Chain A
Amino acid sequence: MADAALAAGTVRPVKYGSISRDRKWALRWSYFFLVLFVIFFLMPPVYMFITSIKSKAEIAAVTNPWWVYSPTLENYIELLSRNQYLIFFRNSAIVSVCVVAVTMLISVTAAFALARMKFWGSATLATGVFLTYLIPDTLLFIPLFKMFAWVRDTTGIELMNHWWTLIIIYPTLSVPFATWIMIGYFASIPKELDEAALIDGASWLQTLTKIFIPVALPGIIAATIFSFTVSWAQFLYPLAFTTSTDQLVLPVGIVTTLIKGDVFNWGEIMTGALLGAAPPLIIYAFLMDYYIAGLTAGATKG
């Protein structure tokens, strides 16, 4: 009797596949838009690459701009054999590495203090740090010019037209944002972890270096990538504060030396820009592996 009821219960119309059909359509749409994005974002670099392996004559000729008929490396050779470009590259590299170092040193320690050491005004300060990031950088030109003039008048140190001045200026952009990212990461580390370290006998500095920095590594890498990108791609500041050819960084150098009057040296501009884009790309590719979150998994109840 019971068996019969059970058997009758299983015979019912089953509708298969409504969820998988939904999923299929969702996938189709995602692919459609992803392909659209890829085309949209890859078109400029592809065009840069195509132009960079064309000869001057071919660039000027009226042919299909998306095709190379006689590929050549002459732009690369010319650019890399010219000392100027290598100086731009060196300036950019030193500036960016130094800015990353300065930024991380300031923002990690500042974020640790703001996130963990409860002191009078710490919450206000944390908000203040973020607010400074909201000020458009172009508004800072005139105050910075004024400050540099004051420094020159009082100490005799000339800050204008030196590539190393940029190491002082860029952190005004990178530190607030990096600090903000790090405050968020540090705040997500459970309080018990530093209490355990405190009981284990760690000082604040040891808690930071031995516990917080390793645990917040994904956040630190995010902040590092950010500050590197900010300083590598910065255009307006170096344009305003450096003028001599040997003091220029890559983005400004390419534009000021390869565009002469109304002559656009397109082949070399594209080559220079492409080579300039390589370092961030390589850094991203290496650090992406570390980007995977979940380092904190298992610290507390998982």
Chain B
Amino acid sequence: MAQVTLRKVVKKYDEVPAVRGVDLDIADKEFIVLVGPSGCGKSTTLRMIAGLEEITGGDIAIGGDVVNDVPPKDRDIAMVFQNYALYPHMNVYENMSFGLKLKRRPKDEIDRRVKQAAQILDITELLDRKPKQLSGGQRQRVAMGRAIVRDPKVFLFDEPLSNLDAKLRVQMRTEIKKVHQKVRTTTVYVTHDQVEAMTLADRVVVMNAGLIEQVGSPNDLYHSPATKFVAGFIGSPAMNFIPCKLEQAAGGLRVKLTDTLAFPVPADRTSRYTAHLNKPSLVLGLRPEHIMETRPHSEPNQHDFDQKIDVVEPMGMETLVYFAINGTDICGRVNPNAGAAEGRSMKLRADLNNMHLIDDTTGKVL
């Protein structure tokens, strides 16, 4: 059993806070991804779990034991670094067995565990090579192998794929997921790439400015973000934020974007939104995929509007269209055959079933 618990964890560097009180419960065998922009404190949090940074306040527990003052080697963790941190003068076998050798494990046990890990990662034929003879992807595998060999309570990954090229990154992402399915160890993974976070995680922790914005499954975060930051951070292209007014209209509420453009709010949200009627600084959040070309068939709460398109970006399977409403740039995703053309007007459809109403002063999704 190796659950990891963080209680009000604070880290300050000379009074400058990097992590400002993080509470997090990580279940046994869970794959948790910490994601956020650079400087949000995600790496610092990971390094505090590893014991590489002292914590300024709060408690960290691994497997139920508070480890605040326990040195890294006694925390029973393994870490994979962004730049791999392989020992350059040792071959792959020596790199992987270094930790076990320091623990004075019997030779045959070391050999068995190294070979087993090498097999899981498919690096058996690389065991007597030096790190400089390996490609980036192979080095990353060895770094993971070094972690697996030690059979730790917790795996810590610090942006392990950031140094790989785009294609290899996708490949190694799948690899990491496979390894986790085989090894089933509690894993904390730090990345700034929301796609990595979404694809790998059981639960994603979105961090911003030293605080946790939201914790949830990838789908939770995507479909019901708690804050404007999460809504804008998860998903690519990012969610559109359009300043709007919430008004009373015949038969319910409506969001008014411009004098000529307003959409009725879905009836099931009326009670939730009524309290915010006529509030200033409201923002309508609508993902690009919920702004599409018009179709003959219409479902409830979908509304068509005419819009002049400024920029068209064909992506192959879809086409991104950009236009402006009241000076706010907005992105929509339309069918490549819908006939989107720059400078021309087009009939678009907004799917209000997936709308979010955000209070811009608090940043909360209402």
| Contact indicator A295/B102 (Cβ below 8 Å) | no
List B134-189 residues whose CB lies under 8 Å from chain A. Answer: 134, 136, 139, 146, 150, 163
| Contact indicator A196/B103 (Cβ below 8 Å) | no
List A191-222 residues whose CB lies under 8 Å from chain B. Answer: 192-193, 195-202, 206, 210-211, 214-215, 217
B334 beta carbon closer than 8 Å to chain A: no
With A195-B52, A201-B73: A299-B102 Cβ-Cβ less than 8 Å: no
- Return A292 CB to nearest CB of chain B, in Å: 13
With A198-B52, A298-B86, A299-B86: A192-B81 Cβ-Cβ less than 8 Å: yes
Partner of A299, one of B71, B78, B98, B131: B131
Q: What total of chain A residues lie within 8 Å of the partner, measured CB to CB?
A: 25
With A201-B102, A206-B102, A295-B89: A300-B52 Cβ-Cβ less than 8 Å: no
Q: In whole angstroms, what is the CA distance A5 to B338 when docked?
A: 37
B302 beta carbon closer than 8 Å to chain A: no
Nearest B residue to A213 by beta-carbon distance?
Answer: B89
| Contact indicator B84/A300 (Cβ below 8 Å) | yes
- Return B157 CB to nearest CB of chain A, in Å: 13
List A176-195 residues whose CB lies under 8 Å from chain B. Answer: 190, 192-193, 195
| Contact indicator A215/B88 (Cβ below 8 Å) | yes
| Contact indicator B72/A198 (Cβ below 8 Å) | yes
| Contact indicator A198/B73 (Cβ below 8 Å) | yes
List B28-63 residues whose CB lies under 8 Å from chain A. Answer: 50-52
| Contact indicator A193/B102 (Cβ below 8 Å) | no
Number of inter-chain CB pairs below 8 Å: 87
- Return A197 CB to nearest CB of chain B, in Å: 8
| Contact indicator B50/A211 (Cβ below 8 Å) | no
| Contact indicator B88/A297 (Cβ below 8 Å) | yes
Q: In whole angstroms, what is the CA distance A132 to B236 when docked?
A: 58
Q: In whole angstroms, what is the CA distance A193 to B102 when docked?
A: 16
Partner of A296, one of B78, B88, B146: B88
Q: In whole angstroms, what is the CA distance A214 to B91 when docked?
A: 13
With A192-B81, A195-B85, A198-B73: A297-B132 Cβ-Cβ less than 8 Å: yes
With A192-B83, A199-B79, A301-B84: A215-B89 Cβ-Cβ less than 8 Å: yes
B82 surroundings in chain A (CB, below 8 A): 192
A43-63 contact mask (Cβ, 8 Å, vs B): 1 or 0: 000000000000000000000
- Return B349 CB to nearest CB of chain A, in Å: 43
Question: Which residues of B pack against A, CB within 8 Å?
Answer: 50-52, 71-73, 77-79, 81-89, 98-99, 102-103, 130-134, 136, 139, 146, 150, 163
16 further contact pairs, Cβ within 8 A, besides A192-B81, A299-B83: A192-B82, A193-B85, A195-B79, A196-B85, A196-B87, A197-B98, A200-B73, A200-B150, A202-B73, A202-B102, A215-B89, A296-B88, A298-B133, A299-B88, A300-B83, A302-B132
